[in-house]
Amino acid sequence: MRKKIIAANWKMYKDLAEANDFFTFFIDKLPKTKAEVKIGTSYTNLWHAFETTRNYPIEIVAQNLHQEEKGAYTGEVSASMLKSIGIETVIIGHSERREYFGESDHILKQKVTTALKNNLNIIFCIGEKLSDRKANNHFDLVKSQLKNALFDLNKKDWKHIVLAYEPVWAIGTGETASPEQAQEMHLFIRNTIAGKYGNELAENVRILYGGSVKPDNAGTLFSQPDIDGGLVGGASLEVDSFIEIIKAV
């Protein structure tokens, strides 16, 4: 049985004071849940958020890392820097990184390699743009994202990988993939992994859905057989709506 994950991706929202406010109320209201709860916040908040939540069932995760171990890369943060403050998980391949920061499958593959080498777990994002879906190219596109960045991994590496299917057209738009559309793609992803690595491994990989997850659609999405939780943007910024989404598991 795959344990569900509810992960927040705060993106470039919340400074230290705002994050502190959130945690004050969130820790107080956090319900008992079967899900793993994770919060992805900016580099400047990571250490403090980690310290604030260390006695609670909340994992603080990073939103990015650099692919090189160290070097003259002004403004970048390495895997070992994340590890040194207690971070165990990093989001890689978010569509905003692909789109606005030119992160190709090739770079993402390097990031995955570096993260694994440093014993970090990964939430790896994949998902098609609206143009891909309209051209009926969405399955091929998602398959190529998987293949190009992840299919040289060994079976044992997959213990450290969680996938997040985030159709770009549903991110921040208020337009959610229907539970049927999401389930269809999640099953396709699982079958694609099974084709490469076998059924047992594929059955154990957790695949989150992301893209306008809200309290009112979370329950139906999470009850689909191949949806193992959510990666939540906008609705994770408010304590109450994020709590409602956690309760929907």
Please identify every residue annotated as catalytic: 94, 166
Q: How far apart are CA 158 and CA 219, in angstroms?
A: 27
Binding mask 127-166 for ligand 13P (x = CB under 6 A): ---------------------------------------x
Residue 79's contacts (CB-CB under 8 Å, 6 or more residues apart) are 65, 66, 69, 90, 114, 115, 117, 118, 120
Binding mask 207-246 for ligand 13P (x = CB under 6 A): ---xxxx-----------------xxxxx-----------
The CB density around residue 24, as the number of other CB atoms within 10 Å, is 12
The region, left, alpha or beta by phi > 0 then psi within -120 to 50, assigned to residue 60 is: beta
Alpha carbon 189 to chain centroid distance? 15
The alpha helices in 85-214, defined as continuous H runs, are 95-100, 105-117, 130-134, 138-150, 179-197, 199-204
Q: How far apart are CA 92 and CA 139, in angstroms?
A: 20
Size of site (CB under 6 A) for ligand 13P? 14
Pick between residue 9 and residue 67 the one whose CB is nearest to ligand 13P.
9
Q: Which of residues 4-23 bind ligand 13P (CB under 6 A)?
A: 9
Does residue 93 touch ligand 13P according to CB under 6 A? no
Pick between residue 142 and residue 231 the one whose CB is nearest to ligand 13P.
231
Q: Smallest distance from the beta carbon of 224 to ligand 13P, in angstroms?
A: 17
Q: Smallest distance from the beta carbon of 70 to ligand 13P, in angstroms?
A: 28
| Contact residues for ligand 13P, defined by CB under 6 A | 9, 94, 166, 171-172, 210-213, 231-235
